[in-house]
Structure 1
Amino acid sequence: MTIQCKVKSIKPLACNTYQILLHPETPVAFKAGQYLMVVMGEKDKRPFSIASSPCRHEGELELHIGAAEQNAYALEVVEAMKDALANGGDITIDAPHGDAWVQEESERPILLIAGGTGFSYVRSILDHCVAQSLNNQIHLYWGGRDDCQLYAKEELEQIEAKHENVHFVPVVEDAPTEWTGKVGNVLQAVEQDFDSLAEYDIYIAGRFEMAGAAREQFTQNKGAQSDRMFADAYAFI
């Protein structure tokens, strides 16, 4: 469904990463883990995960967009958002999309894995599960190049402190001297920490090659069930 939106705010989250709040002219019904398409042209629609959860979005849609200079695909969207905010214009979206949403009826433990701004996907799922008071054990692994990319680290640590069933593990490739968390690849960190993933519902957001590697590694090495692994990438690879 195509919907016109006002850009309510644009806020930097980290280097070249922005939080964008959209206010659609009509409410958008979506499930935690779905995405929207920003319409840049008749045949140019660009997907971004919805970071807000369906139970607590108050009519607004939150996006986290990583837009480094070399990433024209995302940078052009941020520039269009900035122009709409400055001039009171509209942004057109097509939503909702995706079938990798959270399986609320499942009582299996949940493993959320994100690389970079793929965090927006797992944030929606985490926030929804917490808001619905689901009792499933939830493990969230978030990987970034450095700790600055993990822009919601403090927020996640606070959620973990409040909810006994939530476990947050940050992973960085380039660790500062004072870093006490895990260092390296986020998928490797998961493999090190779990003897088996056979009982888990696994949700993954990141580059397509990351999602593909996770499915191969986890099914072969950790007993994960491919039909209990969810990622938007799996509709395309």
Structure 2
Amino acid sequence: MTIQCKVKSIQPLACNTYQVLLHPESPVSFKAGQYLMVVMGEKDKRPFSIASSPCRHEGELELHIGAAEQNAYAHEVVEAMKAALEQGGDITIDAPHGEAWVKEESERPILLIAGGTGFSYVRSILDHCIAQNITNPIHLYWGGRDEQQLYAKQELVQIADAHRNVTFVPVLENAPADWQGKVGNVLQAIDQDFDSLAEYDIYIAGRFEMAGAAREQFTLNKNAQADRMYADAYAFI
């Protein structure tokens, strides 16, 4: 469904990463883990995960967009949104999309895996599970190049402290000397921490290569069930 949106705000989250709040002209019904398409042209629609939770988004849609200048695909979208915000214009979206939403009826433990701004996808799922009082064990692994990329780290630490079923594990590729968390690749960190993933529902967002590697590694080495691994990337690879 195509919907016109006002751009309510654009705030920096980290270097070249922005939080965008959109106010659609009519309510958008979506499931935690779905995405929307920003319409840039008749045949040019660009996907971004919805970071807000469907049960408490108060009519607004939140996006986290990594938009370095060399990433024209996302950078052009942020520039268009900035222009719409300044001029009071509209942005057109097509929503909702995606089959990798959270399976609320499942009683299996949940493993959420994010690389970079793929965090927006798992944030929606985590927030929805908390709001719905889902008590399944939830493990969230978020990997980034440096600490700045993990822009919601403190918020997640607080969530994990407040909810006994939530475990948050940050992973840095380039860690400072005083870093207390995991260092290296986020998939390697999971490989080290779990003997088996046979009982887990696994949700993944990041680069397509990461999603593909996760499915290959975890089904072969950790007994993960391919049909219990969810990622929008799997519709394309």
Q: Same fold per TM (> 0.5)?
A: yes
TM-score using structure 2 length: 1.00
Q: Aligned residue for 1:223? A: 223
State how far apart, in whole Å, the 2-side matches of 1:125 and 1:154 are. 18
State how far apart, in whole Å, the 1-side matches of 2:225 and 2:135 are. 21
Q: Aligned residue for 1:82? A: 82
Q: Aligned residue for 1:40? A: 40
Structure 1 stretches of 4+ with a deviation exceeding 6 A read none
* Identity fraction in percent: 85
**Partner SS state of residue 21, structure 2:** strand
Q: Aligned residue for 1:51? A: 51
In the TM superposition, what is the alpha-carbon distance from 1:178 to its structure 2 partner? 1.1
Q: Aligned residue for 1:99? A: 99
Task: Establish whether residue 123 from structure 1 lines up as the match of residue 123 from structure 2.
Answer: yes
Q: Aligned ranges for residues 11-22 of structure 1 at < 5 Å?
A: 11-22=11-22
Q: Aligned residue for 1:161? A: 161
Deviations 1:37-73 (A, max 9, x none): 0000000000000000000100000000000011000
**Partner SS state of residue 190, structure 1:** helix
Letter in 1 for 2:220: Q
Letter in 2 for 1:152: A
Task: Establish whether residue 31 from structure 1 lines up as the match of residue 31 from structure 2.
Answer: yes
| RMSD across aligned positions (CA) | 0.3
Q: Aligned residue for 1:183? A: 183
Q: Aligned residue for 2:7? A: 7
In the TM superposition, what is the alpha-carbon distance from 1:198 to its structure 2 partner? 0.0
State how far apart, in whole Å, the 1-side matches of 2:109 and 2:180 are. 26
TM-score using structure 1 length: 1.00
**Partner SS state of residue 40, structure 2:** strand
Q: Aligned residue for 2:148? A: 148
Structure 2 unmatched ranges of 5 or more: none
**How many corresponding residue pairs?**
237
State how far apart, in whole Å, the 2-side matches of 1:15 and 1:131 are. 30
